[in-house]
Every structure is written in structure tokens, then in C-alpha cells.
Amino acid sequence: MTKQVQQRDRVIIRFAGDSGDGMQLAGDRFTQETASFGNDLSTLPNFPAEIRAPAGTLPGVSSFQVHFADHDILTPGDAPDVLVAMNPAALKANFDDVPRGADIIANTDEFTKRNLAKVGYTANPLEDGSLSAYQLHALPITSMTVKALAGCDVSRKDAERAKNMFALGLLSWLYSRPAEGTMKFLTSKFATKPEILKANIAAFQAGWNFGETTEAFSVQYEVKPATLAPGLYRNITGNSALSLGLVAASRRSGLPLFLGSYPITPASDILHELSKLKRFGVRTFQAEDEISGVGAALGASFGGSLGVTTTSGPGMCLKAETIGLAVSVELPLIICDIQRAGPSTGMPTKTEQADLLMALYGRNGESPVPVLAPATPADCFETAIEAVRIAVKYRTPVIILSDGYLANGSEPWRIPSVDNLAKLRNEFSFAVPHDAPADGPHDGPGEDQAAKGAPEFLPFQRDPQTLARPWAIPGTPGLEHRIGGIEKADGAGTISYDPDNHDKMVRLRQAKIDGIAADIAPLEVD
């Protein structure tokens, strides 16, 4: 039947169901097709914290929200225009976010007395009139999927698991999404399981055909492509962008990248991503705990590498002492704090920008550190490069404050030209005599200082412009010096208990961080 096509400038869709219902996959595939179609978009996956919450309960609800438009958008949105609820728990967990008049597509097969009771419904909301203010589409999605796969050689359980593809096919038809990419994805994913492949394709097509033929949906919607600057684009999450930014900074600075990390939600994907990039000189170390991870990263910086560590709120607490050590020894170190809700374990899969004050002040003594915060998932790439630029130039640890919202969300990213990326300084230092002018660090790797006629290396003699101390690589003849957390004498770097020297060093370290502002363009208020 011929159906009316209405134009929309933007739409927010939320796929929600049990953690085993495949909502993340359905949402991701819808997003990929939307990206290839040319819409601007922003996504927000939402996961349960428990490894396997009881099926059909509120803690087990998993959702994926995608906001797409024909113009520039900045967030995944707050209020979904469409909620796909695969069971009562999904409806109840997300209902408060749905505005009156929005579409609710509910899988009636899961609205049994037992499942309703699990989440506290005393009556079926699909039948008691409580959803009369909404555009309710109550569909037996599971049984329609099983019926559509009657000709496939799969078990009933596997047939039921394909209901996410039925829902994806229906939504793809409803919002005029292309299907070619999903077909290629399924063909690749199930290349060794032909019957499962056949079942998933059949379920997707059944959902598409249902939308096209049913009278339940009399209107099809279209969101035209957005006007984007010319270039090559890919869809990218914040954690992926941060990983690629760190690698790009490593290559542009000529410094090998070392990641010392302990897995923690929602930062673990950076470890996963960087572990795949060894061909770019990346080394990853999965430490036994947070303290070991940051200690290894700082040790790598001492050895002349670009040291990076990743964590979230509880891990930041454990890394505080070593970050303070990095402040004291004045070495580059990148700390990526992918924030989550606290305190303590808190809500590990939920977003909260909870660590700002800890990032600014959460170390003992006077230990100032520059803190950078990306604005969008794609902005994590530029933020990583900027963090490395500051860390290397000023010999300081730098904290990147991302969060779960940015880390797991995605948006289109225009891949930059390598030639347009900043060329970062990676200066290692030679000895500077006591009576030599403080003309700053010298370029190049270390050499025999005797040949230079330099009587003594001063590890804390500073560049007069940046106040950065030399970066001296262990094992370089003539650059031997003491290192550690006890206060240093200005210039010489020997242990000092003199209160006036301590006051001077505290003020110098603060002045160095304050001076970074001279390198930053004026703030543009949006």
C-alpha cells in the first residue's frame, strides 16, 4: 500500500530491552546506517552495571538512544520521540523520559503476568488506558519473528533472539534508513553460521515488510542528510577518538606511546583500542591495580616515552600519590579520567561528571595540574593531542576529564589530514653548566657531555619562557641526576629540606602551570 511520507528535521529513538535482547546491536546498526545516509547524529548507549542482572528486572534494562537530524546537533537528546520497549521493565525504566504524544512500540509477547509483576505493574499498561496520551503500537514482535523464521533451520530460542533484527527492520523502514550496510554486516558477522545468517536477514526483512504492509503505521518519515563540510567521515566514540588522538600525538612528537592501565568502566575501551595498535609503536601494559598502572606510565615517561594511564573515579583516588610524584619530578604524564557516578563504586555504568574537584585539588601538598575537558566524542581526538602538547612542552602531568556520556556516545567525525596536525616538541636535554645562561632545553637525544665541556648537569634549571625543566633520559652520559618524591633544590635537584627553597619550588611549579594560559586562545562563549 502507498503511504504518506512526512519530512522531519530531527528524531530521537531509544531502543530498550533486557540486556540479552540485542538492543545495543540494533541501535548501533541503526546508527551506522544513519551515518552512511549523511545525517548528523549523536548516540548514548546505556548499560546495566551488574554482569548479569535477572532477566526482566529493572536493573537488567539496556538501552541505546540515537538522535539524528538534517542539521548540526550536539547531544543525544533528553526526550525520545520513539521508545521501543521489548518488555515491561524496558517500558517502566524509560517511561518518565517519554513526552506525551510520542510513539511507543511495545513487544506484547513479553507483557505476561509474571513479567509485569517483576517490575511492579498491577495491570497491563498496554491495555488499561494509561498510555492513551501516547501513540501506542502494541505488536507481538517475538511471535511475528518466530513465524517469519519458520522456514529456517534454527531452534525456537535462536529464532526468538532475532527479534532485535525484526525491530531494527521495522524502524529502518519507518525512518527510511538504508539496509545495505546491515546486510553486509550480518553476512560478515555470521559468515561461518549460514542458518543464523539466514534467520537474521529474514527477521530484518520481516520487520521491514511489516512496516510497509501493516495499517498500524500509515505514515513513513524521512530525515534528509545534514549539510556537512566536505571530507571523509567516520562514526566515532569518545574512547576511540581519545585513543586515536594519543597515537597521533605519539607519532607527531616522535615519542613511543606507553599505556599503563587497570581495566575499569567506562575507561577500559581505551586499553582495548590501543592494544590493537602495536604497529604504531604503542605498548600497552594491563597492570594488576591502579597504582601499578600509573607507576608504570610515569616510569615510561622517565625513560623517554609518552606515558599514559586511564581510569575512572575510584582509580583516580588510588593514582593521586603518583600524580603528585609526577608534579614533583616534573615529567610529562597523561591521565585519562573517564568519569562515572560515585562515590566509591557508585553507579559504574552511569554518567556523572563527578571528579572535577578531585582532578583540580585531590592530591596532597601544592600539586597543580592542568585539566582539559572535551566537549563531544569527536573532540576527544583534539583534546588528546592538546594534552600531549602541554605535557611535553611544560613537563607536567595533564588530566583529561572525559566521561561515560562522551566515551560510549558517538557522532560523525571528519578525519583530519595528518599534515594539518600539530608538530609536537619532544626535546630531550643536554647538560647546562652552572655559569651558562639559562637558554632553555637543547634539541636532540643525549650525547657525551664531556665532549661538550659541560661540568655538571642541572636537572631543574628551567626554560625561562615555559619554566620547564630538562627532560633527561636515564643512561645518557653526563645527564645523571637524582629523582624522587622528596623536595628538590632549585636547579641542582638534590634533596632539600630548606623551607625557603620549598616555598620557591612550590611557587615555580604553580607559575609553570599558570603560564600555560599564554598558549591557549581566548575562550569562545557558546
Over residues 356-386, the pLDDT tens digits come to: 999 999 999 999 999 999 999 999 999 999 9
One-character DSSP codes across 236-269: EEHHHHHHHHHHHHHHHHTPPEEEEE---TTTHH
Instruction: Name the least confident of 18-27, 72-81, 445-454.
Output: 445-454
Q: Residues 6 or more apart from 370 whose CB is under 8 A from it?
A: 390, 394, 396, 398, 399, 513, 516
As a whole number of angstroms, the distance between CA 217 and CA 219 comes to 6
pLDDT level of residue 1 (50, 70, 90 thresholds): low
Query: What is the Cα–Cα distance from 197 to 189, expressed in whole angstroms?
Result: 8
Residue 468 has pLDDT above 80, yes or no: yes
pLDDT of residue 432: 41
Average pLDDT over residues 7-17: 97
List, for residues 46-57, the tens digit of each pLDDT value: 989 887 789 999
Closest C-alpha among 228, 229, 259 to residue 242: 259
Residue 70 has pLDDT above 50, yes or no: yes
The two beta strands, 233-237 and 410-414, are antiparallel
Q: Are 17 and 90 in contact (CB under 8 A)?
A: yes
* C-alpha cell read off for 491: 636547579
Residues 303 and 348: their CA atoms lie apart, in Å, by 34
Cβ-based neighbour number of residue 137 at 10 Å: 18
Cα 198 to Cα 49, 168, 201, 469, distances in angstroms: 33, 16, 5, 64
Using CA atoms, how far apart are residues 60 and 89, in angstroms rounded to an integer?
A: 8
What's the full length of the chain, in residues? Answer: 526
Check whether 442 has a pLDDT greater than 50: no
**Residue 455: pLDDT over 70:** no
Of residues 506 and 427, which shows the higher confidence score? 506
Q: Where are the alpha helices (DSSP H) in 180-230?
A: 180-189, 194-213
> Long-range contact list for 346-353, CB < 8 A, 24+ apart?
346/313, 347/49, 348/49, 348/265, 348/266, 348/312, 349/46, 349/47, 349/48, 349/49, 349/265, 349/266, 349/404, 350/46, 350/49, 350/404, 351/403, 351/404, 351/405, 352/403, 353/401, 353/403
Confidence bin at 425 (pLDDT 50/70/90): confident
pLDDT at 116: 98
480 DSSP 8-state letter: -
Residue type, 314: P
Confidence of residue 150 (pLDDT cuts 50, 70, 90): very high
31 has pLDDT over 80: yes
What pLDDT band is residue 456 in, cutting at 50, 70 and 90? confident
Least confident of 212-216, 305-309, 391-395: 212-216
Does the structure show a pLDDT above 90 at 440? no
User: Does pLDDT of 452 surpass 50?
Assistant: no
Return the pLDDT at 218.
84
Q: Assess contact for 63 and 16: CB atoms under 8 A.
A: yes
**pLDDT over 70 percentage in the chain:** 95
**pLDDT at position 51, please?**
79
Lowest-pLDDT range of 108-122, 308-322, 412-426: 412-426
* pLDDT above 70 for 444: no
Residue whose C-alpha is closest to residue 228's, from 36, 7, 13: 36
Tens of pLDDT, residue by residue over 306-343, are: 999 999 999 999 999 999 999 999 999 999 999 999 99
Q: Looking at 78-92, 230-244, 455-469, which range is the least confident one?
A: 455-469
Radius of gyration of the chain (CA): 28
**Cell numbers given for 252:** 607527531
Mean pLDDT of 27-56: 92
* Mean pLDDT value across the chain: 92
pLDDT tens figures, 252-261? 999 999 999 9
Q: What is the pLDDT of residue 450?
A: 41
For position 497, what pLDDT does the model report? Answer: 97
Task: For residue range 183-196, list pLDDT tens digits in order.
Answer: 999 999 999 999 99
